[in-house]
């Protein structure tokens, strides 16, 4: 009987701007709790809150109107707008001046506690710096002031996920769908958070919703700022990871094959496919998937390690030793572990 060994699992991001939670771990040929292979939340740096001119009343977030009629000769200067504009400029500077931005957003929040833009801006500043607890509090306050403030939901869910608060992140995204029901990115992110909460059937459903929306034309895919194929490939990765969580390895492999077909140069998709195929004891196919990874990322130690283990699983000791020699300078610890499994 062929014996399965512990595959290496890792997280490869599909989007360079996405900071990934580091919970990767090896374990019995299965995926780690952090779905490996690049499935991630779709994340874009949040935009600054809007400014509506240097004079006149604020129209966003329930802010108080000036109430003082403007005259042509002496326009009313809206200090609130100027303060938010200063904060935005500090955050968006080539070298961000976060302390200055934070100070001005706080001044705007103090001047008008009912202006959700100030809290959104604070959340953005905190998120940029990885101050996730403070970001959560600021975004939640923005939504308390203005419940339908769409710009706050996705960054709030991202900050919650960074803190490992996946059930709360999922609930936040469900609320976002009430205001933006055809947003494929929200469904993708919902699938990610459900998978981390080990709510795999719901993760499958959310992934499939994202795939359906992305397969349509017209208004269904309306984000525009995100490459469609990246989102679609990511949705298939999340779908595959959810099937892996249910130990439905054949379904997982089919979903991950589609992810790799959509982005054939994405090493992460092939790596995760290799994991699913290995889990399903489809060793020959797993070897081909890992070969695709090492062709794209020849210095990726985990791929050489897993490829070597898969060769061991089919009793191809010679090929396993070849991977061992490649692995030695890349990761001596992994090389030692693989060496102990190769029959002399």
Pair 179, 172: CB distance under 8 Å: no
Pair 2, 281: CB distance under 8 Å: yes
The candidate with the shortest Cα–Cα distance to 161, out of 195, 138, 204, 129, is 195
Q: Mean pLDDT over residues 250-256, rounded?
A: 95
Q: Could you tell me the sign of the dihedral formed by the alpha carbons of 262, 266, 272, 273, in that order? A: positive
The per-residue pLDDT for range 162-204, each reduced to its tens digit, is 999 999 999 999 999 999 998 888 999 999 999 999 999 999 9
The per-residue pLDDT for range 280-292, each reduced to its tens digit, is 999 999 999 999 9
pLDDT of residue 232: 87
The candidate with the shortest Cα–Cα distance to 189, out of 315, 15, 8, is 15
Confidence of residue 39 (pLDDT cuts 50, 70, 90): low
Q: Could you tell me the domains of the chain? A: 48-163 (1.25.40.10)
């Amino acid at each position: 009987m062929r014996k399965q060994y512990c595959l290496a699992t890792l997280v490869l991001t599909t989007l360079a701007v996405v900071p990934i939670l580091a919970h990767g771990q090896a374990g019995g040929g299965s995926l780690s709790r952090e779905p490996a292979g690049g499935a991630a939340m779709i994340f874009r740096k949040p935009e600054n809150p809007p400014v509506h001119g240097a004079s006149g009343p604020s129209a966003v977030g329930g802010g108080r109107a000036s109430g003082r009629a403007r005259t042509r000769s002496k326009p009313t200067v809206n200090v609130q707008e100027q303060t938010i504009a200063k904060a935005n400029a500090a955050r968006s500077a080539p070298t961000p001046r976060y302390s200055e931005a934070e100070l001005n957003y706080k001044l705007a929040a103090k001047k008008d506690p009912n202006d959700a833009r100030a809290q959104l801006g604070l959340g953005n500043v905190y998120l940029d710096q990885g101050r996730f607890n403070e970001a959560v509090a600021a975004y939640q306050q923005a939504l308390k002031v203005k419940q339908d403030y769409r710009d706050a939901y996705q960054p709030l869910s991202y900050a919650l996920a960074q803190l490992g608060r996946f059930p709360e992140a999922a609930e936040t995204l469900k609320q976002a769908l009430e205001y933006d029901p055809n947003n494929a990115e929200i469904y993708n992110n919902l699938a990610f958070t459900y998978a981390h909460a080990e709510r795999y059937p719901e993760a499958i459903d959310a992934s499939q919703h994202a795939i359906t929306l992305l397969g349509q034309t017209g208004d269904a895919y309306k984000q525009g700022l995100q490459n469609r194929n990246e989102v679609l490939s990511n949705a298939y990765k999340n779908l595959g990871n959810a099937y892996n969580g249910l130990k439905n390895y054949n379904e997982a492999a089919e979903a991950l094959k589609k992810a790799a077909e959509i982005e054939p140069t994405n090493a992460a998709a092939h790596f995760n496919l290799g994991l699913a195929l290995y889990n399903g004891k489809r060793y020959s196919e797993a070897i081909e998937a890992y070969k695709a990874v090492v062709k794209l990322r020849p210095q990726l130690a985990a791929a050489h390690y897993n490829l070597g283990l898969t060769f061991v699983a089919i009793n191809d000791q010679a090929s396993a030793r070849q991977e061992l020699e490649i692995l030695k300078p890349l990761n001596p610890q992994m090389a030692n572990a693989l060496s102990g499994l190769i029959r002399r």
